Amino acid sequence: MIDLFPLYLTLKVSIVATFFSVFIGLGLAWLMARKEFVGKGFLDALVMQPLVIPPTVLGYYLLVLLGRSSPLGRFLEETLGITLVFTWKGAVIATFVASLPLFVRPARAAIEGVDKNLENAARLLGKNEWDVLKTITIPLAWRGIVAGSIMAFARATGEFGATLMVAGNIPGMTQTLSIAIYDAVQMGNTNLANLLVGIITLFSFSVIYFVNRFTKGRY
């Protein structure tokens, strides 16, 4: 009997992390595309860091930031009772940070691609900023937002380095699919490795295929 826990955990972590990426990332993408503010360049560089920084370095930063010895980690644990390090929640945080730029980048480009006059036309017809975002900007940037979500999700399912640093490799607790594959290869369990690799390949392939079909040519 093969243990399907890594597959289940990977899906859980990826879905939750992508959910955060989309909600927080949409706000960031909108801010970067439509507003001018002090520190915009810095924020942009910060959000994009995970694209260039080694995942282990990113994981190390998160470990230091969220660990028991940091003020933030202590606050979360003592006041809110949340432990992030070496739990599946830690894996979510690591995966979220690593996949956020893959959502923000296409989403920002898509929002920038929406004609500002369309937004102005909506304002002139009496709509507030939230209505404009909901009825004009997001529907017209839809394809970029969906593409970004998929990219973020794909990155999330394959996350390895940062997750390993923050959440560790605890079978049945924090062992995700990519970590399980690494483990299986290390142990010489080729059959298990082949199966897990097969699952993840089929999954990634079908996601991209259906998304391409879904987002093809509207308007």
Partner 1 sequence: MSLSFHLKKHFHSFSIDIGFSTEENMSVLFGPSGAGKSLLLNLLSGIVKPDQGFVRIEEREVFNSETGINVPIRDRHIGYLFQDYALFPHMTVFENIAYGINHLPKNKIKTKVEELLDLMRLGGLEHRFPKELSGGQKQRAALARTLAAEPRILLLDEPFSALDYQVREKLRADLLMIHQRYPITTLFVTHDLEETFVMGENIAIINNGRLEQFGAREEVFYKPKTKNVAKFLGARNIFTGRVVSLVGTTAVIENPEIGEVKALIHPEEVELSLGQKITFGIRPEEIMVIRPDKPIDKKVQDNILDGEILTTLGKGASHTVYFKVKDRDATLKIEIPNFAYRKLKLHKGKIITISLKKESVWIISERQAMGER
Q: Which residues bind partner 1 (CB under 8 A)?
A: 115, 117-118, 120-128, 135-136, 139-140, 218-219
Least Cβ distance, residue 35 to partner 1 (angstroms): 15
Long-range contacts formed by 110-116: CB under 8 A, 24+ apart: 110/29, 110/141, 110/142, 110/143, 110/144, 110/145, 110/147, 110/148, 111/29, 111/30, 111/33, 111/34, 111/137, 111/141, 111/144, 112/33, 113/141, 113/144, 114/140, 114/141
- Dmax of the chain from CA atoms? 66
Nearer to partner 1, 128 or 206 (CB): 128
Residue closer to partner 1, measured from CB, 46 or 121: 121
Please state the closest distance from residue 134 (CB atom) to partner 1, in A.
Answer: 12
The candidate with the shortest Cα–Cα distance to 94, out of 158, 153, 159, is: 159
Q: Least Å distance between CB 130 and partner 1?
A: 11
Which one, 119 or 159, has the nearer CB to partner 1? 119
Provide, rounded to whole angstroms, the least separation between the CB of residue 110 and partner 1: 13
- CB closer to partner 1 out of 21 and 137: 137
122 and 144 Cβ atoms separated by less than 8 Å: no
User: Which lies closer to partner 1 via its Cβ, residue 81 or residue 217?
Assistant: 217
- State the minimum distance, in angstroms, from the CB of residue 121 to partner 1: 4
Q: How many helices (H) and strands (E) does the chain have?
A: 12, 0
Q: Tell me which amino acid residue 191 is.
A: N
Least separation in angstroms between residue 132's CB and partner 1 is 9
How far apart are CB 127 and partner 1 at their closest, in Å? 6
What is the DSSP code (8-state) at residue 135?
I
- Cβ closer to partner 1: 142 or 182? 142
Residue of 187, 104, 200, 195 lying closest to 158 (CA atoms): 200
Helix, strand, or coil (residue 160): coil
H or E, element range at 183:
helix 177-187
Q: Is 54 or 139 the residue whose CB approaches partner 1 more closely? A: 139
